[in-house]
Amino acid sequence: MVDLRSQYENIKDEINREIQGVIDSTAFVKGGKVADFQHHLEEYLGVKHVIPVGNGTDALQISLMALGLKPGDEVITPTFTFIATAEVVALLGLTPVLVDVDPHTFCMSPEAAEKAITSRTKAIVPVHLFGQNADMEALMQIAQKHNLYVVEDACQSIGAEYTFPDGRREKSGCMGKLGCTSFFPSKNLGCYGDGGAIFTNDDTLADEVNCIANHGMRVRYHHDRIGVNSRLDSIQAAVLDVKLKYLDSYTASRQRAAAFYDSAFGQCPYITIPAHNLHSSHVFHQYTIQLAASIDRDALKAALNEKGIPAMIYYPIPLHLQKAYHSERYKKGDFPVSERLSQSVLSLPMHTELDDEQLRYITNTLLPLVEQCKK
Ligand SMILES: *Cc1c(COP(=O)(O)O)cnc(C)c1O
C-alpha cells in the first residue's frame, strides 16, 4: 500500500546525515531537533503552537484531558473511523456518542452531529478521513451555537487546506480548539517510528497540553496535575524535519496518482471514485473507492493480491458494531451510511512513489477483474 523504501532512497543522504547528527549529539530526547521541527511545522501550518507528542492517539487523549472534560461528559465522534478517535474518549471515562458520516466525503455528517447533541455534550471530534477535511464550516457553526469544543482528528490529513465561505483558508487541524496528527510511518508525514503532535492557536491550552504531556509538570518535580509521559524523540524529529520540506511535493504526487485512478475508473459502472468536498483540498492519505453491491469485494481483493496489487478495507467494522464498544445505545442498522461503506469500500495503493507504469498496471488489472467479480 505504501513504498517507504523508495521514498527513503530518494532522500537517503539527508536523512542519514540528520540521524547521525542526533546520535553524535546524544540529545535523544528533547534535543534541538525537536524544537526545530516544531517551529518549522508551526510555520508550515500557520498555527501558533505545535506540541510534539508520542503518537496520534496520545495527541487525542492529551487534547481531551486539556479541555478539562469530566466523566459522563459526551463527546461526539463518527462511527466510521479508526478506533483511536473513540478509544481515548472511553479511556478517559467520557461517553463517546457515535454519529453517521456523509456518504460522499466519508466524514462526520454535521446534521447527524447536531441531532446527537444533549445537555451533556461537551466536544465534537471530526475526523478528516482519508485526507479530506470534514465540513468544518457547518461543524464550527454547530459548535459555536451549542458552546462545544472542536478537536480535529487530522491524523490522515496533514497539509489539506480548507476554504471557509468568507475566503479564509486554514490548514487541517488548525480550525478547532485543538487539532491532532500522527507521524506513524505510513501517514502523509511519517517518521521512522512513532510520533504525533497537537496544534492550537490558544496560548493557555498550549501551556496545559505541554504540562500534561510532561507528567503534569511546569517546574521540574512540581506536579500541578495528573499528566502522562508523551514525547517525540529527537531522531524522529530529525526525520520529520527533512520530510516536512518535501510534504507539498509528496502531496502533489499523491494527488497525481489519485487523478490517474479517477480517470481510469470514472466510467466504470461498478466503481464510485472518491468525491471531492468543494471547500477542501484532498491529500489522499488513502484512495478509497466504493464498489457496487453486485461486486464480490473479498473476491476482488483476493484477485488483486494474486496479481501483486495490495488492497485494504478501511474500515471493515464501524465502531458501534465493535465488541469493545457494544452499548445499549446502538444496534445494527442505526448508522446506514457507515454500515454500507464498511461493506463497499476498498483502498488501493497510494503513496508518493507511484509511477505511471505502476498506475497503469493497477488500473489495467483492476478493471477486468471487477467484471469477473460480479456476484
Ligand atoms: C493513525 C490514526 C490515529 C492514531 O495515530 P497513532 O499515531 O497510530 O496513535 C488516530 N486517528 C486516525 C484517524 C488515524 O488514522
- pLDDT exceeds 90 at position 304: yes
Three-class secondary structure of residue 225 per DSSP: coil
Q: Are residues 263 and 192 in the same domain?
A: no
Residue 327 sits in a domain whose CATH number is 3.90.1150.10
Q: Are residues 277 and 172 in the same domain?
A: no
Atom of ligand 1 nearest to the CA of 156: 15
Q: Which residues partner with 150 through β-bridges?
A: 124
- Of 244, 272, 298, the last residue of a domain is 244
Closest CA to 127 of 97, 103, 106, 149: 106
Q: Are residues 48 and 122 in the same domain?
A: yes
Q: Are residues 201 and 266 in the same domain?
A: no
- pLDDT exceeds 90 at position 61: yes
Sequence letter at residue 103: P
Atom of ligand 1 nearest to the CA of 128: 13
123 membership: H or E segment, kind and range: strand 121-124
Query: CA 110, CA 143: separation in Å to the nearest integer?
Result: 10
pTM above the 0.85 mark?
yes
Q: Are residues 265 and 231 in the same domain?
A: no
- Of 244, 268, 284, the last residue of a domain is 244
Q: Are residues 230 and 315 in the same domain?
A: no
Closest CA to 282 of 149, 163, 143, 142: 163
**CA dihedral sign of residues 211, 75, 139, 57:** positive
Confidence of residue 13 (pLDDT cuts 50, 70, 90): very high
Closest CA to 264 of 368, 371, 358, 360: 360
Three-class secondary structure of residue 80 per DSSP: coil
Give nearest CA residue, ligand 1 atom 10: 84
Percent of the chain with pLDDT over 70: 100
Q: How many residues does the chain have?
A: 375
Residue 201 sits in a domain whose CATH number is 3.40.640.10
Cell reading at 171:
490548514
Confidence of residue 328 (pLDDT cuts 50, 70, 90): confident
Instruction: Report the number of distinct structural domains present in the chain.
Output: 2
| Strand 121-124 relative to strand 74-78, pairing | parallel
Domain carrying residue 353 = 247-372
- Of 184, 216, 244, the last residue of a domain is 244
Cell reading at 69:
472534560
Q: What is the pLDDT of residues 23-53, one digit of tens each?
A: 999 999 988 999 999 999 999 999 999 999 9
Q: Which of 55, 57, 133, 347 to mutate to test the pocket of ligand 1 (most atoms within 8 A of CB)?
A: 57
Q: Are residues 345 and 217 in the same domain?
A: no
Give nearest CA residue, ligand 1 atom 6: 56
Q: What is the pLDDT of residues 66-92, one digit of tens each?
A: 999 999 999 999 999 999 999 999 999
pLDDT for res 67: 98
Cell reading at 263:
480517470
